[in-house]
């Protein structure tokens, strides 16, 4: 696991930020939704995932460090989280997301805590 949860374990080679928008997101135990936003920046990379009807349209922000691999052939992003962990994750809030260090800290702490329990 990376020391910084907002950094990729392995940089996605040859992918631009928007290129994985629309990819299915697969947790360790099944599909959780699709990528609606992918941001790849030096200060922090992440996905916003729309969980659809699975958890009533909730969107979650997943730091890049949660991505186990990206399968460009099948248009899938695989994360090292379970469906229950995603369901329990703080909901993505577009109104406070941008430029809000406290919000990012809450998201980062949640996912870093999961890594330390594994």
In whole angstroms, how large is the CA radius of gyration of the chain? Answer: 13
Name the percent of the chain lying above pLDDT 90.
48
In a domain, 1, yes or no: no
Query: b/e string for 52-79 if b means 16 or more Cβ within 10 A?
Result: eeebeebbbbbbbbbbeebeeeeebbbb
Q: Answer whether residue 2 is part of any domain.
A: no
pLDDT of residue 1: 44
Q: Is residue 35 part of a domain?
A: yes
Phi, psi of 100 (to 5 degrees): -125, 95
Residue 24 belongs to some domain of the structure: yes
pLDDT-based confidence at residue 35 (cuts at 50, 70, 90) = very high
Task: Tell me if 104 is assigned to some domain.
Answer: yes
Q: What mean pLDDT is reported for the chain?
A: 85
For residues 60 and 67, the answer to whether their CB atoms sit within 8 Å is: no
Which structural domain, as residue segments, surrounds residue 71?
A: 17-117
Please report whether residue 3 resides in a domain: no
Q: What's the CA gap between 20 and 99, in Å, rounded?
A: 23
CB 25 within 8 A of CB 49: yes
Total of domains in the chain: 1
Residues 76-88, mean pLDDT to the nearest whole number: 94
The highest-confidence range among 9-18, 44-53, 72-81, by mean pLDDT, is: 72-81
pTM > 0.85 = yes
What is the rounded average pLDDT of the residues 106-115?
88
- pLDDT class of 13 with cuts at 50, 70, 90: low
Residue 10 lies in a domain: no
In this predicted model, which residue has the larger pLDDT, 57 or 103?
Answer: 103
Which CATH number characterizes residue 22's domain? Answer: 2.30.30.240
Question: Residue 102 domain-assigned?
Answer: yes
The values of phi and psi at residue 29, to 5°, are -125, 25
- Confidence (pLDDT) at 10: 78
């Amino acid at each position: 696991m990376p020391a910084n949860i907002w950094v990729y374990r392995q940089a996605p080679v040859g992918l631009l930020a928007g290129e994985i928008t629309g990819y299915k997101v697969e947790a360790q135990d099944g599909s959780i939704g699709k990528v609606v936003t992918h941001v790849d920046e030096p200060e922090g990379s992440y996905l916003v995932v729309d969980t659809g009807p699975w958890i009533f349209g909730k969107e979650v922000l997943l730091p890049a460090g949660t991505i186990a691999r990206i399968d460009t052939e099948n248009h899938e992003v695989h994360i090292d989280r379970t469906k229950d962990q995603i369901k329990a994750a703080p909901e993505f809030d577009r109104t406070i997301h941008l430029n809000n260090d406290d919000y990012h800290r809450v998201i980062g702490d949640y996912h870093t805590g999961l890594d330390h329990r594994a």
